[in-house]
A = this chain, B = another copy of it.
Amino acid sequence: MSNQITIALDAMGGDDAPHIVVAGANIARRRHPDVRFVLFGDEKDLAARVSKQRGLSEFVEIRHAPEGVAPDAKPSQVVRNGQETSMWNAIDAVKNGVADAIVSAGNTGALLAIAMLVLKRLAGIDRPAIASFFPTQRGETVMLDLGANIRCSERNLVEFSIMGEVFSRTVLGIENPTVGLLNVGEEETKGNDALKDAAQMLRELDLPGEFVGFVEGDDIPAGAVDVVVTDGFTGNVALKTAEGTAKLINAFVRETFRNSFWAKIGYIFAKRSFDKLRSRSDPRRYNGAMFLGLDGVCVKSHGGTDAVGFATAIGVAIDMVKYGGNASLKTTVERLDLESLRPQAAAAS
C-alpha cells in the first residue's frame, strides 16, 4: 500500500506568492517524506523557482494556471468568472482525484466559495466552517467557526461541535476532546435561543467527545476545553482580539527590556529563554485554517505568512488526509443521524 499524499498548491495566492508556496513546499517535503505536490500558477516562473529549491523538483508537478484571484475580489464574482484561476484549478485537482488536498494563501472568501461549489458539502453537513487551532495555557485548542457563517442556527452549532471534535481527535490526536459553546456566561439561561437549543441538542447527542456546556471568552486562552464552538462572527472577533492582545503584551515586554540600563543587562541573561518562548508562540507554528464539512480537504494559509508558515499549513492538510479526518467525520455524522434528532431545527437558517 502506498502512503503517498498529493497536495495541490495555489501558487498565486498570498502576499509573497509564489515564493512562499514553492519554498514552503520544499520545507514541507523534508518534514513529510511521502508528500508530492501539484503547483498551479505560471508554468515558466514556477519551473525556474522550483529548480532553485534543492531537491524539490522530483516531488513537484507544475500545471499552467497563471491567473490569480485578487485579494479584494468579491467571492461571488470569482465564482462566476474565476474558472481559469490557479485557485479554482487547484481545487478542481482535488475534485478530479489528482490531489488529496488543496492549500491556498489567497482570498479566503473566494477560496471558500469555490470549494463549496466544486467539492460540495459532506453528506449530512449543512454548513461548512473554518477551524483553526492555537496555543493555550494547557496545550492546543480548536476554535470554529472563524468567519464562514455570520449567523448560525442551533443545527449549525451542533454540526460545528461534531466537526471540531473529530478534527481535535483525528488530527491533533486528543483522545476524548472536550467541547464548549462560547457564551457570555456559564449558566444555562445565558445567551440567545440558538445557543440554548444547541446546548440542549448536544446534551442529548451521543457525541464521541464530551460536551461540557457553555464557556466564556477567557476560557479560550486558558484552554478550558479542547474545542470552542461559536458562530463565525464571534469566532472571528475572538480570534483577532486574542492575536492582537498577544501582540500588544509582547510589545510591552520588548519595550520593558529596553526602558532601562539594568533591564537591557537583564535581557542579555534572559535572551535564550525568551527566544524559546518566541519560537513556542510563533504564529507560523499555528498557521493553516481547515475548511471543515467539505467533501475534500481544503486548507487556508494566512495571506501574510512566509515559507515556514506556509509549510505548516501544508502540514495541516497532510495530517487531515493521513489521519482520515473526513472519513471519520462522515462516520460520526451518519451514526448521530442529526436529521432524526430534532427535524424542526434542520429547517432553521
Contacts and interface: CB of A to CB of B under 8 A. Distances in A.
Q: Is the interface of A mostly helix, strand, loop or mixed?
A: helix
Among A147, A239, A245, A255, find the residue whose CB has the most chain B CB atoms closer than 10 A: A245
Interface stretch (A230-238, A307-315, A321-329): A230-238
A70 interface: no
Contacts of A48: none
A96 interface: no
Given A233-B192, A241-B241, A263 B267 contact: no
Interface string A123-160: 00000000000001100000000010011000000000
A259 to B, nearest CB: 5
A95 to B, nearest CB: 28
> How many copies of the shown chain assemble into the complex?
2
A184 B262 contact: no
Contacts of A252: 277, 280-281
Nearest to A261: B269
Interface stretch (A24-32, A79-87, A219-227): A219-227
Among A189, A256, A262, A270, find the residue whose CB has the most chain B CB atoms closer than 10 A: A270
Interface in A238-264: 238-253, 255-257, 259-260, 262-263
A233 B136 contact: no
